[in-house]
Amino acid sequence: MTDTPRLSLHVPEPEVRPGDTPDFSNVAIPRAGSVPRPEVDADPKSMRDLAYSIIRVLNRQGEAVGPWAGTLTNEELLEGLRDMMTLRTFDARMQTAQRQGKTSFYMQHMGEEAVSCAFRKALLPGDMNFPTYRQAGLLIAGGYPLVDMMNQIYSNEADPLKGRQLPIMYSSREHGFFSISGNLGTQFVQAVGWGMASAIKGDTKIAVGWIGDGSTAESDFHAALVFASTYRAPVVLNIVNNQWAISTFQGIARGGSGTFAARGLGFGLPTLRVDGNDYLAVHAVAKWAVERARRNLGPTLVEYVTYRVGAHSTSDDPSAYRPKTESEAWPLGDPVIRLKNHLIVQGVWSEERHKQTEAEILDVVITAQKEAEKHGTLHAGGKPSARDMFEGVYAEMPAHLRRQRQQAGV
Amino acid sequence: MARMTMIEAIRDAMDVCMGLDENVVVFGEDVGYFGGVFRCTHGLQQKYGRSRCFDTPISELGIVGVAVGMAAYGLRPCVEMQFADYVYPAYDQIVSEVARIRYRSAGQFTCPIVIRMPTGGGIFGGQTHSQSPEALFTHVAGLKVVVPSNPQDAKGLLIASIEDPDPVIFLEPKRLYNGPFDGHHDRPVTPWSKHESGEVEAGRTVTPLGKAVVRRAGSAVTVLAYGTMVHVALAAAEDAGIDAEVIDLRTLVPLDLDAIVASVRKTGRCVVVHEATLTSGFGAELAALVQEHCFHSLEAPIARVTGWDTPYPHAQEWDYFPGPARVGRALIETMEA
């Protein structure tokens, strides 16, 4: 009775912390082109290995190789490169605008541009995304005007959301982009409901749910997987694993399951894991999962393995919890550079044209910014009316809100 | 007019709405094949098919979460929480999502869903089958909150709720499902089938949200009540021999303040009654509104008769429940104050 060992609590820790040398040697990176591509209607049981591998198309030489290659033309890839470059430039300008006090808050995508930009290209008009705060690529690649995004970020008089939402919490029904919550995880199960509705109505549209690695720990994630698998909802469920949930490394949410993708196996879902910094691989996987949903074959769970190069938000400083040079050591590289190199190898792009395009995009973004700033920024110029604060709580304003509006004197 | 139980009236309301609008869908735990543990959805799956009335996994968060997505698509989900006591896993979806979708998307997306749930005690349901959580919803901007007290209202208010462009929390006092229980737990309850208030209009009958009704006209004191407590208040006025004016609020948000003010200005006295716990209960809001709007008419302090600030007990149900004796005492004290 005295030989019973004392219990101890296991609290996972990342391999390295500030001051240490970054080390990703534990991240197994399969060779590009080495992961098989199952038929879209294949039995999920036949592809369980894919939850533990990483689908990659672009190799180190910038060539597109293997069974997942070939879903996009060079012309489409050039457009994709432009989308990612636009998002990166947009982020840089808005990050600076926040530092200049033109808005309260910003969240950038540095390193994760391929995920939302490439995924968007696999969707059809009418499909609906239920995004998190780090999928603005869905809007940019979907043709949403930059100036409208900025108006929202500035909460100015032209803000489509009338100043009610935190910056970057966009909403555009027309562009298949559901209103961002900010309460993590809630959208994941809502996407399943949207897909179920489309199936109930005998429609042809599909839904896409988005969640981060950290938020998979929320109950909404579990509920989404239960409902998606039970009703075989036409939905693609995307986990963007950027390694960090603010200061918490992904091992805290992942626990013992090995990968986030593996969470789908217990639900009988086809579950893919993909190089999130490989524009071609992201698109190929998106196309596969979207087709599966569209053909009424049910939901797919996808984990995008990527890295959050920047801070979580303008309120965060990653040097407090991870090595400063960690992003440089990230083994999957930079999505913009990788696609650029591929297009150079293809003979349709060059360093000069890239630089020239960078300048063109900067010009486009600055023009949009000037246009937006004519309508005001958070603390200067035109702003939404205080009266508007009371509108839209209900379809019709009830008496108690009319009284309060009167009291507020607006 | 046919007589119906409140259960039949609620079922009839969903039947009418599903018949009129293909976008109305009904789902929840045990709601499909079996027709609900209280039988409120009995026969709907058979009539409208499995894709419009179906069983769900035991996940209140999931039920409400998928309803939000469905509403964004354009459907009108009317979902059931098996007991109001089980709604808490869905609370984040209700507070942060359901209530705010219209506002935060500037009307691009809306959330016209109804969340039905049996509420209140009186059935020896203990802590987990007896609660009255209405104040947790009245506190949330963007929600409407409805509590019917008889079959006709249950039907009319539920149809109004399903047709409403905004989300509605629809609390069904389960002790009233079969008859107008007035708190005299030692006496038999007349079933709705033998009660004149069991009469329910056929077809699409709508009771507008935000309209209270005077159940008993009187001149001595105003009683503000809803759900089961309407019947308790009527019994208390009768037992105590006080000419009380009993107002059935029917809708807590939006609230019919005009009806309340008109009555209290006439009587000069006010007793607020609810089954939920006292502190921060909806009665606090009612008392505050009455003093703001009727201060110069008040001849006595506003009294509140409510459940005690304890979890809902099992064996001590009738010590907890604010029955006609406690309400009657409050009426007398308010008259003597």
pLDDT tens-digit map of B253-294: 999 999 999 999 999 999 999 999 999 999 999 999 999 999
- The CATH number assigned to the domain with range B213-336 reads 3.40.50.920
Longest dimension (CA), chain B: 59
Q: What percent of chain A has pLDDT over 70?
A: 100
Residue of A204, A274, A188 whose CA lies nearest to A237: A188
Nearest to B206 by CA among B163, B175, B238: B163
Percent pLDDT > 90 in chain B is 99
**Of B112, B126, B72, B64, whose CA–CA distance to B89 is shortest?**
B64
List pLDDT tens digits, range B28-38: 999 999 999 99
Longest pairwise C-alpha distance within chain A: 78
B208 touches chain A (CB under 8 A): no
Per-position b or e across A368-387, b if 16+ CB within 10 A of its CB: bbeebbebbbbeeebbbeee
Distance CA A47, CA B110 (A): 39
Give, for all 410 residues of chain A, the pLDDT tens digit: 578 999 999 999 999 999 999 989 888 999 999 999 999 999 999 999 999 999 999 999 999 999 999 999 999 999 999 999 999 999 999 999 999 999 999 999 999 999 999 999 999 999 999 999 999 999 999 999 999 999 999 999 999 999 999 999 999 999 999 999 989 999 999 999 999 999 999 999 999 999 999 999 999 999 999 999 999 999 999 999 999 999 999 999 998 888 999 999 999 999 999 999 999 999 999 999 999 999 999 999 999 999 999 999 999 999 999 999 999 999 999 999 999 999 999 999 999 999 999 999 999 999 999 999 999 999 999 999 999 999 999 999 999 999 999 999 99
**pLDDT surpasses 80 at B243:** yes
Q: Which CATH number fits domain B2-200: 3.40.50.970, 3.30.1480.10, 3.30.70.1050, 1.10.3720.10?
A: 3.40.50.970
Residue where the block lists tokens 């939404």: A384
Closest C-alpha among A218, A304, A221 to residue A266: A221
Q: How many residues does chain B have?
A: 337
The one-letter code for the residue type at A286 is A
| Closest-CA residue of chain A to B94 | A186
Provide the pLDDT for residue A2: 72
* Average pLDDT, integer, range B34-55: 98
Strand pairing category for A248-249 and A244-245: antiparallel
B257 contact A CB<8A: yes
How close does chain B come to A207, measured CA to CA in Å? 9
The CATH label, of 3.40.50.970, 3.40.190.10, 3.90.226.10, 3.30.200.20, for the domain at A44-311+323-379 is 3.40.50.970
| B182 in Cβ contact with B232 (< 8 Å) | yes
- What's the residue count for chain A? 410
Q: Which residues neighbour A352 within 8 Å (Cβ) at sequence distance 6 or greater?
A: none
The arithmetic mean of pLDDT across residues B48-53, rounded, is: 98
What tokens appear for A5 in the block? 């060992």
* Prediction ipTM score: 0.97
CB contact under 8 A, B108 and A179: yes
Q: Which residue has the tokens 């308010």?
A: B334
Residue A399 sits at the chain B interface (C-beta within 8 Å)? yes
Across the range B71-88, mean pLDDT stands at 98
A20-40 pLDDT, tens digit per residue, is 999 898 889 999 999 999 999
Same-fold call for B2-200 versus B213-336: yes
Nearest-by-Cβ selection for B66 from A165, A178, A193: A193
Determine the angle formed by the axes of helices B60-73 and A219-231, rounding to 10 degrees: 70
**Pairing, β B213-216 against β B244-248:** antiparallel
Q: Would you list the domain boundaries of chain B?
A: 2-200, 213-336
So which residues of B are the catalytic ones? 129
Residues A144 and A343: beta-carbon distance below 8 Å: no
* CB neighbour list of residue A166: distance below 8 Å, 6 or more residues apart: A104, A105, A182
How far is Cα B306 from Cα B318, in angstroms, rounded to an integer? Answer: 13
State pTM to two decimals: 0.97
Q: What is the pLDDT of residue A206?
A: 98
Nearest CA in chain A to B23: A201
The token pair at A141 is 């690649």
Q: Is A400 in CB contact (< 8 Å) with chain B?
A: yes
Nearest CA in chain B to A222: B62
Q: Is A319 exposed, middle or buried (0-12, 13-18, 19+ CB in 10 A)?
A: exposed
Mean predicted lDDT score pLDDT of chain B: 98
Q: Do A227 and B166 touch (CB under 8 A)?
A: no
